[in-house]
Amino acid sequence: MVKKRNQACTMQKVRSFAWLMIAKRAAFLLFLAFPALAAAQADTLPLQTKPVARNIGLEGMYQYGHVFATNAFLKGVNEDATRISTFQALSFNLSLQTNGKKQWEQSYKYPQYGLGLYVADFFDAEEIGYPVAVYGFLNAPFHRWNKLTFNYEIGFGATFNWKSYNPITNQFNVAIGAGESFLIDAGLNLQYLVTNRIEVASGFSLTHFSNGALKKPNFGINTLAPKISIKYNFYDKPAYLKQHIPAYAPHNEWLISAYGGLKNVIFDSVNIATLEKYEGLYFPVFGVSLTFNRQLSDKSKIGIGFTLSHNGAVNAQAAVDANELDALKGKFGDKILLSIYPSYELVIYKASITLQPSFYVYRKKLLTQSPAFHQRIGLKYHITDRIFIGITLVDYSFHVSDFIEWNLGYRIIRH
């Protein structure tokens, strides 16, 4: 009994640590979304308009759209035996309009960025709940006319209040394994200035919800929806500042980084109590990456890289002792993986978004394993010109999360 209590306590600590990482990631994602705030006091040009801190707007947005049938629960294996195909959502954004005080603001055609609050309804409150998200976003123009702008937008954040999987009370919901998850959002919109203070917008966005395999089952939820919004600006249309931007001198760089993380594994076939079975076990994932980039402009880098990793969840096995799971140690070499990938990096001041379609070129062959082709999407923030931190989501089939990398790296510049 003492051993069982100790193991239960250990499992609870592991889960608490996992969700602490979610909370930290949410805070970090929000910070990444607002790169200008990190240097808001470092003015380099005299302002000719109202201070940026007053260029604040409040926006309300509504969506009604499509839920992709990417897992059995959404396809109809649920309490109502009905396909979950639609959802609606309401969000409120507090944004700051840039005016060119910083060079990156002019390069991105004077974008808006800020914080948002999001509430969704999947028309199945008993099994999904009403998830609530807090996120950071960037809304930047492709093109700006007098009163009309055509924009792209990206957002990252944390989602709470899910009714997640429970093997006894909510056994069908294999989409969401925990009450908390991450949110990734991308879309396009047209924004029109009706008066000096009021804007309306229409567009669409793709949204992905997942906990990054910190708690399984975790097949995720993906949506596509049009949206409409109305916004009130607490400022008149600003006079955008223009400064001379010298021609960019392309250069090369090497990025060296290390990462760590956790992955949850459930052992369905073991004969133990149901709740203990679906707690599963946590296995460490860690590795090193090396990337060579060519920075072509102040906004874009392209390159090639590889990652050498040790994934403790590969071919994971467990034994049962007093109705508790104990992880069995496997051969270290059996869990080594080597992947290679082209890399694109979108640079937003000190922050970056990385996209890396990847291929495993070395790993032990198993009867059941994830596809060799997988995807890496990451966020990176430069603490200094040389040192950076980041988060990378590794997934496959474009919608199934495998694990999350928490990165720390060093940059070597070659002009």
The pLDDT of residue 324 is 83
Contact 176, 221 (CB under 8 A): yes
**Residue 396: what residue type?**
Y
Tell me how far apart the terminal alpha carbons of the chain are, to the nearest angstrom: 64
What is the rounded distance in angstroms from the CA atom of residue 265 to the CA atom of residue 281?
5
Q: Express as a percent the part of the chain with pLDDT over 90.
A: 73
Query: pLDDT, tens digit, for every residue of 139-178?
Result: 999 999 999 999 999 999 999 999 999 999 999 999 999 9
This prediction has a pTM of 0.83
The pLDDT of residue 269 is 80
Does residue 44 carry a pLDDT above 50?
no
Tokens standing for 83?
Answer: 């396909």
Contact 343, 292 (CB under 8 A): no
The pLDDT of residue 2 is 39
Look up tokens 């499992």; give the residue.
11
The pLDDT of residue 326 is 87
Contact 50, 178 (CB under 8 A): no
Task: List the domains of the chain with CATH numbers.
Answer: 12-33+45-233 (2.40.160.20), 248-414 (2.40.160.20)
The pLDDT of residue 399 is 86
The pLDDT of residue 323 is 80
What is the rounded distance in angstroms from the CA atom of residue 307 to the CA atom of residue 357?
12
- List, in sequence order, every residue forming a beta bridge with 166; answer none if it has no partner: 170
The pLDDT of residue 302 is 98
Q: Map 210-279 to HEC letters.
A: ECCCCCCCCCCEEEEEEEEEEEEECCCCCCCCCCCCCCCCCEEEEEEEEEEEEEEECCCCCCCCHHHHHH
Max Cα separation, the chain? 73
The pLDDT of residue 239 is 81
Question: Mean pLDDT, the chain, as a whole number?
Answer: 88
Helix/strand/coil for 7: helix
Confidence of residue 35 (pLDDT cuts 50, 70, 90): very low
Query: pLDDT, tens digit, for every residue of 55-99?
Result: 999 999 999 999 999 999 999 999 999 999 999 999 999 999 999
Confidence of residue 10 (pLDDT cuts 50, 70, 90): very low
What is the rounded distance in angstroms from the CA atom of residue 400 to the CA atom of residue 174?
12
Query: pLDDT, tens digit, for every residue of 257-300?
Result: 999 999 999 988 888 888 888 889 999 999 999 999 999 999 99
Query: pLDDT, tens digit, for every residue of 105-130?
Result: 999 999 999 999 999 999 999 999 99
Query: pLDDT, tens digit, for every residue of 189-241?
Result: 999 999 999 999 999 999 999 999 899 999 999 999 999 999 999 998 888 89
Does residue 1 carry a pLDDT above 70?
no
Q: Express as a percent the part of the chain with pLDDT over 70.
A: 87
What is the rounded distance in angstroms from the CA atom of residue 184 to the CA atom of residue 141?
20
Q: Is the dihedral of CA 396, 402, 406, 408 positive or negative?
A: negative
What is the rounded distance in angstroms from the CA atom of residue 380 to the CA atom of residue 392?
8
Alpha-carbon Rg for the chain in angstroms: 23
Confidence of residue 348 (pLDDT cuts 50, 70, 90): very high
Look up tokens 């969700």; give the residue.
19
Does residue 401 carry a pLDDT above 50?
yes
CA 373 to the chain's CA centroid: 20
